[in-house]
Amino acid sequence: QVQLVESGGGLVQPGGSLRLSCAVSGVQLSRYGMGWFRQVPGKEREFVAAISRSGSSIEFADSVKGRFTISRDNDRKMVYLQMNSLKPEDTAVYYCAARQTILTVPAARDQADYRYWGPGTQVTVSS
């Protein structure tokens, strides 16, 4: 059974950085494409970033492109979201998600493609 747990959220000033981590257990991470999404109360959950099984395909939302990076360590069963130059509009609950795919499938932006989700971690960007 796939279990995902996010960590690394917190309060940061505008312009600051945070690194979110997603610990994956119960499965071999190398068989899963991974994604990060975020949600603000009262709004739809939105795509942030995604990475394919091998890491060869990566996608970012336009709103975070150039500021966020996504990476994975299959041996350690970890996925990371490095967030730099944070803005107040980045404030949200951030979720890690997983989808089992074949090796050649690219990173996915649609949350409907993901079957497994973590409980989320709060990120607040405020002075």
CB 99 within 8 A of CB 33: yes
- CB-CB contact of 121 with 6 (8 Å): yes
Per-residue confidence (pLDDT) for residue 117, from 0 to 100: 98
Residue-wise pLDDT for 20-78, tens only, equals 999 999 999 999 999 999 999 999 999 999 999 999 999 999 999 999 999 999 999 99
DSSP at 77:
T
Residue 6, phi then psi, degrees to nearest 5: -90, 155
| Whole-number pLDDT of residue 90 | 98
What tokens were used for 76?
């350690």
